[in-house]
Amino acid sequence: MSDAVDQKRIRPAVREILLAVGEDPDREGLKDTPDRIARMYTEIFSGLRKDAGEPLRKTFTEKYDEMVLVRDISFESFCEHHLLPFYGKAHVAYLPNGKIVGLSKLARVVEILSRRPQVQERMTEHLADLLVKHLDARGVGVILEASHTCMTIRGIRKPGSICTTSAMRGSFVENSSTRAELMALIYGR
């Protein structure tokens, strides 16, 4: 994997797409579009060049053994099937096993994973697996809720639809009351 997005290759590709859809890439409103798209791809796909587990490597020894939950972590990603955005919120919970991590680190992991061409299902699983691996948590619960523009602005065109995915590990799978507590904390039921 290279260190950076190859903006030189993106610019002529975008120009060719504009020509292919019948546009004039030299008209005033479009003449800088290939460069803007190249810079945008550098930003939105920055997670490809980052180790998503890195933020979880700095932990703190702590005896706390109840649930830690960070709700409503906003994210934006790009569907790898259509290269259209999907966006929503992540709810991330874990049951510590002698160590905790800074709360902002959970949001950083979500950010890194979302900055890749992605499918929501894989993002959910990857996030849960990283928490288990790096925190040695007794349990992990991850829920992502997102609106996919590949479904809302094209194809079936169903705005307002939300995809919810979950990945449960350890105590969140084995203990129904732990899972119920997580759902109550997230959804207030």
Active site residues: 79-82, 120, 148, 150
Q: For the purposes of burial, counting CB atoms within 10 Å of the CB of 28, is it exposed (0-12), middle (13-18) or buried (19 or more)? A: exposed
Give me the residue label for tokens 């934006």: 76
Q: What are phi and psi of 113, to 5 degrees?
A: -65, -35
Query: At residue 80, what is the residue type?
Result: E
CA 20 → CA 15, 16, 23, 65, distances in Å? 9, 6, 7, 58
Token pair in block for residue 61: 């020894």
Indicate the SS3 state at residue 54.
helix
- Separation between Cα atoms, residue 53 and residue 119, nearest integer Å: 18
